[in-house]
Amino acid sequence: MNFHYIRNTRTIAMAALLAGAVSACTPESSDKALGPLPTASFTAEPLAGNANKIVVANTTPGGFLFEYSDDNGHKSTRERDTLSYFQKGEYTIQFTVFTNGGYAKAVKKVTIAQNAQTRDILKGGDMATGSEQFWTLLNTGGTQTAIKIENGAMHFSNTGDSNGAIYQKVSVVAGKSYIFSAQVSGNGASNSWFEIYIDTAVPKQGSDYSGNKYISLNTWSGCGAVKFAGDLSTIGCDGTGKNKNGVMSFTKTGDIYIVVKAGSAGGTLGTGGVVFDDVKFLEEI
């Protein structure tokens, strides 16, 4: 593991205000001077029995505010926490700590040797015959996008302005990591969208769906206008999951909805429409 630290004094004033707010409760210490600029330090070690989980812990003396972030989209403000990694590779973890002397940052690189064990909790994602029973068609109002399963894939098509969706409810557990993946292909659309929403909001028939747009093709944002094929989590150019490789976690245990919505406004989904297949929603075991 490689390690270095970065010190920054830009927000010493803010740290001083926070420290002042705390010390104001004890008059005898109200005249204490600002402490020395900290040197940030933390540990990042594999969890015993599960090398795909990294336990991070602050080791900076006097720290009272903390933030961990990594290039997989994880964020935590706990002093000690566990970060999960689905896929093997090298990851960078950045740590920020505040003390009464200001704030500092430290960086560590961790190597994950193998892919994590997972299970697919989505049903009918292979789009085989009979998969229709696991997906609910959503009428979003207005002209509907044509959606059907045939030849082992789901097809979204139109000949002009339309909108429409399908969805499936799944249950998630707070703190676990999940990854969404799906193969998508098309010959190029115009003035169109193909969107994946992952949200707790319940879809309502006759109403358009909005919420957390996780990843999408969007011709106005620069993808989907020319021939495309690949994992939507990789080639998508819009949504909160952009650049996160499909990885996510949830703060509450309960039901969520995976909604797939496609349509056009002044355009079409292209010749042959959009083909959607091999859809997975993996949960860490």
User: Please, which residues bridge with residue 14 across strands?
Assistant: none
Same domain? For 84 and 192 the reply is: no
Q: In this structure, are residues 63 and 79 in contact, taking their beta carbons and an 8 Å threshold?
A: yes
Mean pLDDT, rounded, for 135-143: 96
Question: pLDDT digit string (tens) for 12-21?
Answer: 444 443 444 4
Same domain? For 205 and 238 the reply is: yes
3-state secondary structure of 274: strand
CA end-to-end span of the chain: 26
Same domain? For 81 and 130 the reply is: no
3-state secondary structure of 245: coil
Same domain? For 71 and 98 the reply is: yes
Q: In this structure, are residues 15 and 100 in contact, taking their beta carbons and an 8 Å threshold?
A: yes
Number of domains into which the chain is organized: 2
Enclosing domain of residue 82: 42-112
- Final residue in a domain of this structure, among 97, 112, 127: 112
Alpha-carbon torsion 245, 246, 249, 250, what sign?
positive
User: What's the whole-model pTM score?
Assistant: 0.74
Residue 142 lies in a domain: yes
- Write the single-letter amino acid at 1: M
Residue 4 lies in a domain: no
* Cα 159 to Cα 272: distance, rounded to the nearest angstrom: 10
Question: pLDDT digit string (tens) for 156-212?
Answer: 999 999 999 999 999 999 878 899 999 999 999 999 999 999 999 999 999 999 999
